[in-house]
Amino acid sequence: MTATEPTTSKHNRFKSIRAEVHPFCVVCGQSNPFGLGVKFTCTEDGSVVARFLGHPALEGFTGLMHGGMIASLLDGAMTNCLFAHGCVAMTGALNVRYRDPFRSGRRSVCAPGANAPWHPCIC
């Protein structure tokens, strides 16, 4: 096992929580045929990682991902980060300040960390 792979018990808890309370999430629900199907994985330090391809069908302006889609990805990432720590919660408020455009057609990594001073979505 590498330093970034979760222990079996953490990984099982993460999968169990997602399957029980979040199967049809529009961002990451694997049972939602209309969802994005983003696959978050948990790491040993309790953070989560997902790779995402910004499809042109999710654009607002030509060549740029729609801001609502970006906010949904961030919301899904933070929810999955909570699941990785055994916490079941939902978003009460979400404020997003867009620093840079998120270009469609690019593979991106979304990697929020529970101990990070800010939660990056690296695009």
Question: What would the pLDDT profile of 28-86 be if each residue is shown by its tens digit?
Answer: 999 999 999 999 998 887 788 898 888 899 999 999 999 999 999 999 998 998 898 88
The pTM is what? 0.80
**pLDDT band for position 93 (50/70/90)?**
very high
- Which pair of structure tokens corresponds to residue 91? 């978003």
**Domain residue extents for the chain:** 8-112
Q: What is the DSSP string of the chain?
A: --TTSPPHHHHHHHHHHHHHH-TT-TTT-TT-TTS-----EE-TTS-EEEEEE--GGGBSSTTBB-HHHHHHHHHHHHHHHHHHTT-----S-------S--BTTSEEEE---TTSSS--EE-
8-112 sits in which CATH class? alpha beta
